[in-house]
């Protein structure tokens, strides 16, 4: 995974984790629940990626995504965060 891709994934994870924390905070000492939430968020992002990334790019993971895919993933991530905090149905 390239540095840019890794940074983008970190942004997605952070965005969704912050949204969940806004509606259901978890104590920083509750490591088990924090890990469970992290894993659930990563699964959600996996689903967002599969909905956004075309088969051609899934079959060729070394291929760089075009801007359209990044835009679609960004919109999906932000929409999901908005739904989590109750801004969207």
- For residues 2 and 33, the model is more confident at 33
Query: pLDDT band at residue 6, thresholds of 50, 70 and 90?
Result: confident
The dihedral region occupied by 60, where left means phi > 0, alpha psi between -120 and 50, and beta the remainder, is: beta
d(CA 48, CA 5): 15
Q: What is the distance between the alpha carbons of residues 64 and 58, in angstroms, rounded to a whole number?
A: 11
Instruction: Say yes or no to pLDDT of 4 above 70.
Output: no
Name which of 3-7, 14-18, 36-40, 82-86 the model is least confident about: 3-7
Can you give the pLDDT at residue 1? 52
**39-72 tens-digit pLDDT:** 999 999 999 999 999 999 989 988 888 999 999 9
């Amino acid at each position: 995974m390239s540095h840019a891709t890794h940074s983008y994934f970190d942004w997605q994870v952070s965005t969704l984790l912050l949204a969940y924390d806004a509606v259901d905070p978890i104590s920083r000492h509750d490591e088990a629940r924090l890990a469970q939430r992290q894993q659930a968020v990563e699964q959600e992002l996996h689903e967002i990626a599969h909905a956004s990334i075309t088969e051609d790019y899934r079959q060729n993971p070394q291929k760089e995504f075009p801007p359209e895919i990044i835009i679609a993933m960004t919109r999906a991530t932000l929409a999901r965060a908005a739904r989590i905090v109750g801004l969207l149905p």
